[in-house]
Amino acid sequence: MPPRRGRHGARGRLKTWPNAEKAIISPNRLANTTRARQAGRLRRRWTGPLAINIRHPIINLKLHAVTSKSLNTFTGYGDGYVEINANRFEQSVLVMPEGQVNAWPVSSFSEISTVHLGQILELAPEVVVFGSGRVLRFLPPALLRPFFDRRIGVETMDLYAACRTYNILMTEGRKVAAAILIDTIASAK
């Protein structure tokens, strides 16, 4: 019997094309290539054509900034401050996507009490992003009990990660509250 010749050439080898580096390959052809199987690029759930650079797989993404003047967005942050809608705040703040930015009367992590966390509960968010300052510090579970009882998620992270996470959740349309602690006592030292 003569060797089988199909679209992949003799013995199942992939034909070479003049533009092989930037070829549009269907998922079936990609799955049949030995090189793809060996490199771990085999994915059977793909649908439709896939643009792939065979030698150097690089995915190009085009990102667009979503700016809305009606929503509170963190536009900057640094040591001892955050910027919300290009307004600089050097004290702790409570932020929701809509409404005004509220001052949060907390100047250090050790001062946080149930009274301060009650101010967050009054906003009735579905998730709270707590920025614990420059250093990641977790609140005691006893202080977080009222959030758990109301099934409100609390995510603790440092100041910078909290600002970025809030912006993402706010853009998704979630009812998120950001409680950003700016250590004014530590900043003054």
At 186 the pLDDT is 53
Give the pLDDT mean for 121-142.
Answer: 93
Alpha helices by DSSP H, 5-152: 27-32, 34-39, 114-122, 141-149
The pTM for the full model equals 0.63
> What are the pLDDT digits (tens) for 30-71?
445 555 555 555 444 444 444 454 555 555 656 556 566 679
Q: Is residue 68 part of a domain?
A: no
> What are the pLDDT digits (tens) for 9-23?
555 555 555 554 444
Are residues 95 and 176 located together in one domain of the fold?
Answer: yes
Are residues 14 and 100 located together in one domain of the fold?
Answer: no
Q: Is residue 61 part of a domain?
A: no
Are residues 127 and 79 located together in one domain of the fold?
Answer: yes
At 61 the pLDDT is 59
> What are the pLDDT digits (tens) for 108-118?
999 999 999 99
CB 176 within 8 A of CB 129: yes
Are residues 13 and 105 located together in one domain of the fold?
Answer: no
Q: Is residue 59 part of a domain?
A: no
Give the residue numbers spanning the domain of 15.
5-53
pLDDT band at 95 (very low <50, low <70, confident <90, very high): very high
Q: Is residue 121 part of a domain?
A: yes
Buried b (16+ CB within 10 A) or exposed e, 133-142: bbeeeebeee
Q: Is residue 63 part of a domain?
A: no
3-class state of residue 156 by DSSP: strand
At 48 the pLDDT is 46
At 118 the pLDDT is 94
Are residues 13 and 100 located together in one domain of the fold?
Answer: no
At 36 the pLDDT is 54
Are residues 94 and 31 located together in one domain of the fold?
Answer: no
Average pLDDT of every residue of the chain: 77
Give the pLDDT mean for 141-166.
Answer: 94
Q: Is residue 66 part of a domain?
A: no
Are residues 150 and 113 located together in one domain of the fold?
Answer: yes
At 112 the pLDDT is 93
Query: What is the token pair recorded at 122?
Result: 């009054």
At 44 the pLDDT is 45
At 42 the pLDDT is 47
Total number of domains in the chain: 2
